[in-house]
Amino acid sequence: SQQGEEDPQALSIQEGENATMNCSYKTSINNLQWYRQNSGRGLVHLILIRSNEREKHSGRLRVTLDTSKKSSSLLITASRAADTASYFCATDAAGGGADGLTFGKGTHLIIQP
């Protein structure tokens, strides 16, 4: 079932600027993951942050997790035109993973050259 909410729903910035997307969720989680999806294509796994972690970096990506607020943020630094895509957070609920991932509604990011 859908539980995550991303904001903003759409974001348009200039190339080189930083893009920040937020995600909120409702239940206890084992981990939270961020995915990218180019138009009409499959999902690309970007980064995973576990429930006991607060911040994680991978290249130009920085993810934070606040379990007390049930929220996460994804920061893409020095954005490029190729970063244009939809970004989804997905939560892996606590309790064994029998229910799969629950996806947020997504943020559509447009990087203007």
Partner 1 sequence: GAVVSQHPSWVICKSGTSVKIECRSLDFQATTMFWYRQFPKQSLMLMATSNEGSKATYEQGVEKDKFLINHASLTLSTLTVTSAHPEDSSFYICSARARDPTNYGYTFGSGTRLTVV
Region binding partner 1 by CB under 8 A among candidate stretches 16-24, 53-61, 62-70, 98-106? 98-106
Residue 60 CA to residue 72 CA, distance in Å, equals 16
Q: What is d(CA 86, CA 109) in angstroms, rounded to the nearest whole number?
A: 6
Q: Is 75 in the site for partner 1 (CB under 8 A)?
A: no
Other CB atoms within a 10 A radius of the CB of residue 7 amount to: 14
- C-alpha span between 44 and 47 (Å, rounded): 9
Does 82 interact with partner 1 (rule: CB under 8 A)? no
Cβ at position 78, least distance to partner 1 in Å: 25
Given a contact cutoff of 8 angstroms between Cβ atoms, the answer to whether 31 and 50 are in contact is: yes
Report d(CA 91, CA 48) in Å as an integer: 10
Cβ-based nearer residue to partner 1, 9 or 112:
9
Taking CB under 8 A as the binding criterion, the range among 12-20, 65-73, 75-83, 97-105 that sits at the site for partner 1 is: 97-105
Residue 99 near partner 1 by CB under 8 A? yes
Using CB under 8 A as the criterion, which residues of the chain lie in contact with partner 1 when the complex forms? 1-2, 31, 33, 40-43, 45, 48, 88, 92, 97-106, 108
